Amino acid sequence: MGKTKHAGPMKKSKIPAPKLWVSPIPFGLGKVKPKHIRDSFKTVWENKDNLGYAANIITKGVCDGCALGVSGLYDQTLTGPHVCTTRFNVLRLNTMPAIKEEILHADIDELRKYSSTELRKLGRIPYPLIRRPGESKFSRITWDDAMDMIAAKMKTLDPKQYAFYLTSRGITNESYYVAAKVSRFLGTNHIDNASRICHSPSKTALKRSVGVGASTVNYQDWIGTDVLLFWGSVASNASPVSTKYMLEAKKKGTKIIVVNPYMEPSMDKYWVPSVPESALFGTKVADDFYQVNIGGDIAFMHGIMKHWFEMEEKQHGSAINHQFVQKHVNGYDELKVKAQEQSWDEIITSSGISKERIIELAELLANSKNAVFAWALGLTMHSFATDNISQVANLALLRGFLGRKHSGLMPFRGHSSVQGSGEMGADPFVLPGGDFEPKNMERMEKIWGFDIPKWQGDIVGITLENIVLPEDNERKIKLYYLSGGNFLETMPNPDFVEKALSELDIRVHQDIILNTSTLVDAKEAVIVLPAKTRYEQEGGGTSTSTERMVYFSPEIEGNKNRIEEAREEWKIYVDLAKRVKPETADLVSFRNAQEIRNEIAVANPNYDGIQHLKKQGDVFQWGGAWLCEDGVCPTPDGKANLIAVDIPNLNKKPGDFYITSRRGKQFNSMVYSEVDPFNRSERYDVLIHSEDARELSISEGEGIVVYNQFGVFQGRAKFVSIARGNLGVHFPEGNFLLPKGRYDKYAGIPDYNISVKVEKADQFNARKDTEYNEKPIEDLETTVG
């Protein structure tokens, strides 16, 4: 797979492009824009006690923020240095001193007054901690006692009764791999990772559509493609360095189109701090916005295809790349029937886009030789997410936009090395090098030297639900082992999640910092283990970027605030295995990180090359420059599959709104500012169209209540350019409106979108009665403040 190698970084254009400027006023004074320079000074100030180490991380380490894969100051896309505010924001996690003892051992009710943001700022976890029922504070415990307690509990449980979860906060491929191996060695397949709640449907859909669950293209393919189309992605906010790639693309004539319910300001205009021209005058990013309804993407794409087939009737080959389809694609006739049977009325109602506008985009794509389709959480966080993404693949395949320069499919991932989590096997449906199926299990049993349990493991959402099963149920989860993560702030229905976490016998938090979920009770013990960061991993560590680049990040010396008792994550898993099954633990024992990389190269053949990464700057790309090169896919017959999908029924009643969540100034659930610099919205603002508000007699800034049968959200109306009938709230604040138990049937991601009603706050509070959710409503001021 993959014949052509990536050519390495390309030079930036030095010619200014005034036609792309936002404003002739230097530095965009007076405009709403990110305050990059101010933020940079703030970062220096925050890290002033450990500045040398902070500088080493930025100049020598691989970014632990987004998945672009910036190594030191450089990447594989463009020459020249790259820095961004996301990276600056997460930097302090690596340089902080330990939490002060008087705070760490304060009364738990005092600690519970802190938000996760405040807890994060307290500092790092200095040593293992325990809190048992009835104890009002954490007490110190030795590593041996903590690990013996976890191991002793595991020995009493059926392996179906414990689960592992790994988040994406800078965890290395080595740690993912060892966790995946150890969990199977201990007899459980309940292991999951953070991609389950962001991009798992991308992998699932791409596997069924083109045979491989990864980006088929590189960032360089953006630069000079005819069309770069973003579906439900705010790339500039999640991965600010990507705006530099967009600026280069625009200079080469690329049209950038955004499909999103909300006209995100940062995808409209952006000031790229490391490009002098853009830092001064800003850059117009998107050439066009299609403000689709939440959940209306499938219908929108059906409209594009329907018009293509109408074009085909007038002139064969005017829209479909027949040569590519005949040679490389299955399922053409079924898809054609499906697209043609959709009525324009249905398409327009579901998508919220007029027929004229759909035709406009259909014809632009039909007349483009190349296109890159990128997408993010706007497509993936639905109960029909896998169908959303297969529908994107359908568009690309009909035009032959696959397996070559400037053409392909890119799930735009937000977190460093979350791509690697599944490829290392930290996933209930996956083992290294392939799926959780008999042939691959047999192969991995030979490599690992022990039997892999044959039952199907559960995804994170199901394992959380299974905590509250009756005592005698063999799948009742009694011990949860968490490497990072905060389910209280990432999963739907936080009230249920809190109840579930408190009903576990033992909960282990292996982490760098405390968060709100660490403070929830447990029946027997909450154990907290201090982890090292990726920059402290002895022998270095690797991470995989969105474009399948595997980067080596060296161990970085000179941390003035070193946490003496913190341990490498992979070493903690090996230690656990030795205590639970001492007689055979040599099967999962690794002496150093290099040994792990040597084994990864065998376990996942795509990663053959990782064993040679030894020093700063070392990188290789698995699969070559383009997956499915020349249209040949890694499927049984070498062909891609067109998948006919239906327009989803959102169960939206007349007068209902549909709600989605968005990220502000934050990194996943870690909030860095209460105000979003792009649109000045605050955390409890509800984004609403002014016409929708006028019909409800709501004025801007007024207190409103958004509610459904699952929960109530109190906030303030903020008028923005969002598709009518749609609302935006911040994640995780809006998660109280989401029920548990609604998943994409293929990928298991929870649904983060739902229909709601909206009312003025005074009206709602005046007539609280049985028709509303019975949950007590706090006074609006206290909720917002």
What type of residue is 460?
A: V
For 743-761, give the secondary structure using H, E and C: ECCCCCCECCCEEEEEEEH
Collapsed DSSP state (helix, strand, coil) of residue 363: helix
More reliable by pLDDT, 300 or 732: 300
Distance of CA 413 to the CA centre of its chain: 6
Give 570-586 as a DSSP string: HHHHHHHHHHHSTTTGG
Q: What is the pLDDT of residue 776?
A: 41
Q: How far apart are CA 91 and CA 47, in angstroms?
A: 8
Q: What is the pLDDT of residue 33?
A: 64
Look at residues 613, 608, 568 and name the one whose alpha carbon lies nearest to residue 592.
Answer: 568
Q: Is residue 660 within 8 Å of residue 378, measured between CB atoms?
A: yes
Give per-residue pLDDT as tens, 534-591.
Answer: 999 999 999 998 899 999 999 999 999 999 999 999 999 999 999 999 999 999 999 9
Q: Is residue 277 within 8 Å of residue 709, measured between CB atoms?
A: no
Low-confidence winner among 3-12, 26-35, 248-257, 335-344 (lowest mean pLDDT): 26-35
Residue 775 pLDDT greater than 60, yes or no? no
Q: What is the pLDDT of residue 233?
A: 79
Collapsed DSSP state (helix, strand, coil) of residue 359: helix
Q: How far apart are CA 624 and CA 607, in angstroms?
A: 11
Grade residue 243 by pLDDT with cuts at 50, 70 and 90: confident
Grade residue 94 by pLDDT with cuts at 50, 70 and 90: very high
Low-confidence winner among 37-46, 52-61, 188-197 (lowest mean pLDDT): 37-46
Grade residue 529 by pLDDT with cuts at 50, 70 and 90: very high
Q: Cite the beta strand spans of 677-752 per DSSP E.
A: 685-688, 703-707, 712-719, 726-730
Grade residue 768 by pLDDT with cuts at 50, 70 and 90: low
Q: What is the pLDDT of residue 772?
A: 46
Low-confidence winner among 103-117, 168-182, 273-287, 402-416 (lowest mean pLDDT): 273-287
Whole-number mean pLDDT of the chain? 90
Q: What is the pLDDT of residue 267?
A: 80
Q: What is the pLDDT of residue 777?
A: 39
The first and second tokens of residue 110, run together, are: 């005092």
Give per-residue pLDDT as tens, 424-460.
Answer: 999 999 999 999 999 999 999 999 999 999 999 999 9
pTM, two decimal places: 0.92
User: What is the percent of the chain with per-residue pLDDT over 90, rounded to a whole number?
Assistant: 68
Identity of the highest mean pLDDT range in 148-152, 378-382, 730-734: 148-152
Residue 784 pLDDT greater than 60, yes or no? no
Residue 169 pLDDT greater than 80, yes or no? no
Residue 30 pLDDT greater than 80, yes or no? no
Q: Is residue 244 within 8 Å of residue 82, measured between CB atoms?
A: yes
Low-confidence winner among 73-82, 505-514, 628-637 (lowest mean pLDDT): 73-82
What type of residue is 62?
A: V
Collapsed DSSP state (helix, strand, coil) of residue 66: coil
Q: What is the pLDDT of residue 241?
A: 79
The first and second tokens of residue 157, run together, are: 């449980």
Q: What is the pLDDT of residue 664?
A: 62
Residue 357 pLDDT greater than 50, yes or no? yes
Burial of 566 (0-12, 13-18, 19+ CB in 10 A): buried
Residue 755 pLDDT greater than 70, yes or no? yes
Q: Residue 328: enclosing H or E segment and its boundaries? A: helix 322-328
Distance of CA 524 to the CA centre of its chain: 33
Q: How far apart are CA 597 and CA 595, in angstroms?
A: 5
- The position carrying tokens 């999103």 is 260
405-443: burial string, b at 16+ Cβ within 10 Å, e else? bbbbbbbbbbbbbbbbbbbbbbbbbbbbbbebeeebbeb
Is the bond leading into 732 cis (omega within 30 degrees of zero)? yes
Grade residue 88 by pLDDT with cuts at 50, 70 and 90: confident
Count each helix (H run) and each strand (E run) in the chain, helices first. Answer: 28, 29
Collapsed DSSP state (helix, strand, coil) of residue 777: coil
Q: How far apart are CA 602 and CA 666, in angstroms?
A: 37
Q: What is the pLDDT of residue 767?
A: 67
Grade residue 668 by pLDDT with cuts at 50, 70 and 90: low
Q: What is the pLDDT of residue 419?
A: 84
- Give the residue ranges of DSSP H helices in 400-543: 418-423, 438-448, 460-465, 494-502
Q: How far apart are CA 214 and CA 1, in angstroms?
A: 13
Give per-residue pLDDT as tens, 471-515.
Answer: 999 999 999 999 999 999 888 899 999 999 999 999 999 999 999
Q: Is residue 288 within 8 Å of residue 257, measured between CB atoms?
A: yes
Mean pLDDT confidence for 209-225: 95
Q: How far apart are CA 668 and CA 89, in angstroms?
A: 12
Look at residues 296, 292, 294, 320 and name the one whose alpha carbon lies nearest to residue 306.
Answer: 320
Q: What is the pLDDT of residue 665?
A: 55
